[in-house]
Amino acid sequence: MRLVALSGSLRARSSNGAVLRSALAFFDGPATTADIAALPHFNPDLDGEGATPPEPVAALRATVAAADALLVVSPEYAHGIPGALKNALDWLVSSGECVDKPVAVITASPFPTGGDHANAQLREVLRMMTGQVVMDACREIPAIGPKIDPTTERVTDEATLNDLRTALHALTTAAAATGPAPTAEATTTA
Ligand SMILES: Cc1cc2nc3c(=O)[nH]c(=O)nc-3n(C[C@H](O)[C@H](O)[C@H](O)COP(=O)(O)O)c2cc1C
């Protein structure tokens, strides 16, 4: 089973990046974190029938297509989805790599109640893209600051680690039930 992760934060010392790395430690298989920082702004003129996508877009699509499950870990900006992450998702709408793909959404915030808006919006967008949002694998993590070791940049809070472990288990269980992503060969010959 292959997993692809998207981080909604481009920050070098991102708390969501720390959550993502800590979550992936509970995944027993190949995992890739897709690079969304290099993507151009989504433009439907570059996304038409037969258009050759910009190279970073093609790379993102190939990475997501090859994965059996998708993990999205993100902060919330102004009660919404960070623009860089929404941009990445927009590039995946028409090409369909998220269709039927089991998806987990995890948001982490420094605030006691933060992240719920972005979490709900991400689930809505991914459902619209006909991804299979696995609710048992979705988490909102409040007050993330002291739950991370600043040296290792990993989650150290036991309750949060336990939560991430059960979330990853729910995601991989859903992915196992859905079956593997089609191979590139099957996709091109279909
Ligand atoms: C422009 C901006 C807007 C933000 N808006 C929110 C918000 O609406 N809700 C929230 O929980 N945190 C908000 N934050 C705080 C972020 O959650 C915080 O900076 C967090 O550390 C970002 O995630 P990261 O550490 O993964 O980069 C905002 C931060 C910035 C820079």
Give the HSE-up count for residue 27: Cα atoms under 13 Å, Cβ half-sphere: 29
Q: DSSP secondary structure string, 70-125?
A: EEEEE--BTTB--HHHHHHHHHTTTT-TTTT-EEEEEEE-SSSSTTHHHHHHHHHH
Six token digits for residue 107: 């948001």
Ligand 1 mutation target, pool 10, 36, 77, most atoms within 8 A of CB: 77
In the predicted structure, residue 190 carries a pLDDT above the cut 50: no
Give, for ligand 1, the residue of 20, 86, 109 to mutate: max count of ligand atoms closer than 8 Å to Cβ. 109
Q: What mean pLDDT do residues 61-65 have?
A: 98
Mean pLDDT of 146-165: 98
Q: Where do we find the tokens 């690079």?
A: 35
Q: Which residue has the tokens 């992503």?
A: 181
pLDDT of residue 189: 43
Q: What is the pLDDT of residue 188?
A: 47
Confidence grade of residue 184 (pLDDT, cut at 50, 70, 90): low
Pairing of strands 31-33, 132-133: unpaired
134 in Cβ contact with 171 (< 8 Å) = yes
Phi, psi for residue 92 in degrees, rounded to 5 = -100, 0
The protein residue whose alpha carbon is closest to atom 1 in ligand 1 is 77
Q: What is the pLDDT of residue 186?
A: 57
Does the beta carbon of 109 lie inside 6 Å of ligand 1?
A: yes
Q: Is 9 in the pocket of ligand 1 (CB under 6 A)?
A: yes
pLDDT digits (tens, 9 = 90+) for 102-125: 999 999 999 999 899 999 999 999
CA of 33 to the centre of ligand 1 (A): 21
Which residue in 84, 95, 117 sits closest to 187, CA to CA? 95
CATH number for the segment(s) 3-183: 3.40.50.360
Instruction: Please report, for the chain, the start and end positions of each structural domain, with discontinuous segments joined by +.
Output: 3-183
